[in-house]
Structure 1
């Protein structure tokens, strides 16, 4: 296994077929394929993310929902050694993003920061962030296979966690893919009000050391819209994503959350 300091190059883009980028309007752009660190990373370099399924009821629901589009050929099926409905690849026509210099923190959030002693950290408890994001959410898309892939990519510097701490307690955060010019925010969690918003704002502040200028919230979500996310066409998103490069650079020093009150 390689390390982040080795500046791991992106895997060959042959892991992701261009032909599957046709739909993306409320349905997966493809299903199937074998989920691996290489295929997952290559997909993200193509503006595609994976929402896998492993539980029987989730698989049955996916097949009932998408089989008509599969039968007409509108959803391609990639070669797979497992149930193809368990590996869903998405690339929405509208991608919700936040420019790193356009984060919005409302009055309530700023008041929360001002009255707290919260701190922020990077990769202090990556497994804890994964577990918290997974929780008991339904459908359970953070599957065991996906967790294994994310941990491998974390070791190689591609996947990072941004964390909010209250003393010794992890109270909020997010994890995602640090690509050269875009940070793809895969999932967030909060154990205190607004902790995830603070993690997003902290992530934006930590991009100053490198080329990342866009935070990708993937789809529409009122929570991320409230901090500045807006939809852009997929073609524009792919332009902003740029060519595959090394892992994105973040400032990984622990910080006081109150620094976010300073413009």
Structure 2
């Protein structure tokens, strides 16, 4: 495990600790965050803890072209219960993700400093959001980092049933239409698995991340 200071760098992911932690310290500057995502690394820590950077051995991902929404999900979309927008209110989405109650978690890993850092990335066009509305109220959404061929999903929230699923399906449809190779969901959880995501080896993930068409 490496300890970072003001110098802008990350070790190669091959040097990741078995826990999945690759480095501790540094800052949440735009430059460092972009370098992290482009290097297969993401920040994940709770308020009051040092900034902790991760590159787990197995990565939860979705290949957009392989995604097939369930029949029930297609029915929900066809009923037009929700309105979906992109990048209309990024700050509201990330703020709702911060305050969302999550099973098995006491607090949030989205600190106030992270909100400001990602809002800055949004202003620069790198961080993007999907909003789900019902009766003009924001009831669900998600956000992440757009690398052009890979979208790194960060968090989602839902205030009513199925709202986060609608955000997820809307994002995947956008990624399919624009020929993205991968949706990175970082680490395993049952909700992501229910949406069709699965784990791949870190080396395979890095190959896709660094792929450049000739």
After TM superposition, is the score higher than 0.5?
A: yes
**Structure 1 residue aligned with 2:109, among 124, 141, 145?**
141
Flag the 1:24–1:106 CA change in 2: closer, same or farther, 3 A.
farther
3-state DSSP class of the match of 1:96? strand
TM-score (norm 1): 0.71
- Residue by residue over 1:120-167, the C-alpha shift from the partner in whole angstroms, topping out at 9 and shown as x without a partner, is 110111111011100055332111111111011100100000111113
Range that drifts further, 188-197 or 89-98: 188-197
**Structure 1 residue aligned with 2:27, among 11, 14, 34?**
34
Contact 1:21 1:91 in 2 (8 A): no
Tell me how many residue pairs correspond in the alignment. Answer: 202
Higher relative contact order (CA 8 A, sep 6+): 1
**Structure 2 residue aligned with 1:161, among 109, 129, 132?**
129
C-alpha separation in 1, matches of 2:14 and 2:23 = 8
The structure with the greater share of residues assigned to strand is: 2
**Structure 1 residue aligned with 2:53, among 89, 97, 106?**
89
User: Mind listing any 5+ residue stretches in structure 2 that lack a counterpart?
Assistant: 1-6
Query: How far does residue 116 in structure 1 lie from its aligned partner after superposition?
Result: 3.8
Q: Find runs of 4+ consecutive structure 1 residues off by over 6 angstroms.
A: none
Contact 2:95 2:115 in 1 (8 A): no
Coordinate RMSD, CA, aligned: 2.0
- Residue by residue over 1:153-209, the C-alpha shift from the partner in whole angstroms, topping out at 9 and shown as x without a partner, is 100100000111113111111000001211000001111212112211111111255
Query: How far does residue 109 in structure 1 lie from its aligned partner after superposition?
Result: 2.5
Flag the 1:136–1:99 CA change in 2: closer, same or farther, 3 A.
closer
TM-score (norm 2): 0.86
Query: How far does residue 27 in structure 1 lie from its aligned partner after superposition?
Result: 3.8
In our comparison, the structure showing a higher alpha carbon Rg is 1
Flag the 1:197–1:24 CA change in 2: closer, same or farther, 3 A.
farther
